[in-house]
């Protein structure tokens, strides 16, 4: 399939044991609308997400197909060279500011997709501001370099526009030192050096995937603690009921564990509901992988509780302190 040579993958985690956090990467994909996020995600999945069986998957049932379960979750996992990349889509619109904040609060890295022809636009600035605020060091992906109007000079111009944007948004020295890749998501490739037509054996997303492993720090989180997760996304499934998605802050969650949903109130912690973990799921392309456990640093979807929602904490029943929720900026009023 024309991939560059991959090192031997790390040994598979034993069934029932969560991945070591050092093998995880949580990455937000941020962009102005139409700059190519959807196309990019699709290409990444085609290269390595959808067709590699998850080593921790309990079975390979395609729940969506066989039982009609659908998870619209914006999180998709990709297996790459022994690591697992949780890629989180973000809405490219200021109306969803709260959602963007919740996403950048769950990840340690970001890919900033910018159309090399158009350069950075209003929503590029908006989503970048959120990413920088959360201390992320985005990787710049200049997309659509296949377009006739996009030259190396144009890319240099756009790079310096993006640099100025970072600087104006108060980026740190480290954040200003962002890696740059050149891509045609449409043709399915990314390159760390400028080209409009890479050789066939390099017409793939390997360099982007390698850049993610290299530049995005793994989550630092302890598996040796009672389980705690902040709920960042919520959806409903006809069969499973409420599905809660979040990044595990501490500990390990397993099928059958007793957990409870809690939240902070002015008068202290309130217990919302106690119950059992019925299903743990990860989305892999269009498939849903069932897993029997997940650990700190990972992003997981769970079914079993029907009352907690976004901003609440799901935790081991012995935990009686809710996690801090994301601080939202005051809403911005758009005049357009
Ligand atoms: P999103 O809104 O960021 O998700 O953008 P899409 O992925 O939907 O892409 C928007 C439009 O740009 C679509 O018509 C794509 O086919 C096109 N597009 C995306 N990536 C590329 C690319 O690398 N080169 C070219 N020429 N077009 C692209």
CA-angle at 67, arms to 56 and 300, nearest 5°: 35
pLDDT at site 283: 83
Determine the average pLDDT of the residues in 192-218: 96
Q: Count CB neighbours of 56 within 10 A.
A: 22
Confidence class of residue 184 from pLDDT cuts 50, 70 and 90?
Answer: very high
pLDDT score for 315: 98
pLDDT of residue 147: 98
Does the CB atom of residue 219 touch ligand 1 within 6 A? Answer: no
Residue 114's H or E segment, with its range, is strand 109-115
- Mean pLDDT, the chain, as a whole number? 86
- Atom 19 in ligand 1: which residue has the minimum CA distance? 36
Spacing of C-alpha 47 from chain mean position:
17
Give residue 282 CA to ligand 1 midpoint distance, Å: 26
Site to probe by mutation for ligand 1, drawn from 29, 37, 39 as the one with most ligand atoms within 8 Å of Cβ, is: 39
Q: What is the pLDDT of residue 289?
A: 83
For 218-233, what is the mean pLDDT? Answer: 94
Asked if residue 146 has its Cβ within 6 Å of ligand 1, the reply is yes
The residue to mutate among 29, 120, 185, 188, having the most atoms of ligand 1 within 8 angstroms of its beta carbon, is 185
Least confident of 19-33, 132-146, 176-190, 322-336: 322-336
Is the pLDDT assigned to residue 135 strictly greater than 60?
yes
Query: How confident is residue 309, by pLDDT bands cut at 50, 70 and 90?
Result: very high
Look at residue 293 and tell me whether its pLDDT is greater than 90.
yes
Q: Which residues, at least 6 apart from 293, have a Cβ–Cβ distance to it below 8 Å?
A: 16, 17, 18, 56, 252, 253, 254, 255, 280
Model-level pTM? 0.87
pLDDT of 223 higher than 90: yes
Lowest mean pLDDT among 68-82, 157-171, 255-269: 68-82
The Cα 145–Cα 155 span in angstroms is 8
């Amino acid at each position: 399939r024309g991939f560059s040579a991959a090192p031997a993958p790390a040994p598979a985690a034993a069934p029932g044991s969560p991945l070591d956090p050092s093998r995880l990467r949580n990455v937000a994909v941020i962009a102005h609308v139409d700059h190519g996020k959807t196309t990019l995600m699709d290409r990444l999945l085609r290269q390595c997400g959808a067709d590699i069986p998850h080593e921790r998957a309990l079975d390979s049932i395609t729940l969506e197909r066989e039982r009609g379960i659908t998870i619209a979750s914006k999180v998709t996992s990709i297996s790459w060279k022994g690591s697992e990349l949780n890629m989180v889509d973000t809405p490219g619109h200021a109306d969803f500011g709260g959602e963007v904040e919740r996403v950048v609060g769950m990840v340690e890295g970001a890919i900033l997709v910018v159309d090399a022809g158009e350069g950075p636009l209003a929503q590029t600035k908006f989503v970048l501001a959120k990413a920088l605020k959360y201390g992320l060091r985005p990787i710049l992906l200049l997309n659509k370099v296949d377009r006739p109007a996009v030259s190396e000079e144009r890319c240099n111009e756009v790079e310096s526009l993006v640099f100025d944007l970072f600087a104006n948004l108060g980026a740190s020295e480290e954040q200003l030192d962002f890696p740059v890749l050149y891509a045609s998501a449409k043709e399915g490739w990314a390159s760390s050096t400028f080209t409009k037509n890479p050789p066939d054996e390099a017409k793939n997303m390997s360099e982007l995937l390698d850049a993610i492993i290299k530049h995005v720090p793994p989550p630092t989180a302890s598996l040796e603690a009672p389980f705690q997760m902040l709920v960042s996304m919520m959806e409903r499934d006809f069969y499973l009921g409420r599905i809660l998605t979040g990044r595990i802050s501490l500990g390990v969650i397993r099928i059958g564990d007793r957990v409870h949903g809690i939240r902070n109130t002015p008068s202290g912690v309130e217990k919302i509901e106690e119950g059992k973990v019925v299903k743990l799921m990860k989305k892999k392309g269009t498939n849903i992988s069932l897993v029997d456990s997940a650990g700190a640093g990972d992003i997981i979807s769970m079914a079993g509780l029907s009352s907690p929602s976004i901003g609440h904490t799901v935790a081991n029943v012995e935990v009686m302190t809710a996690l801090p929720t994301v601080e939202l900026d005051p809403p911005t009023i758009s005049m357009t």
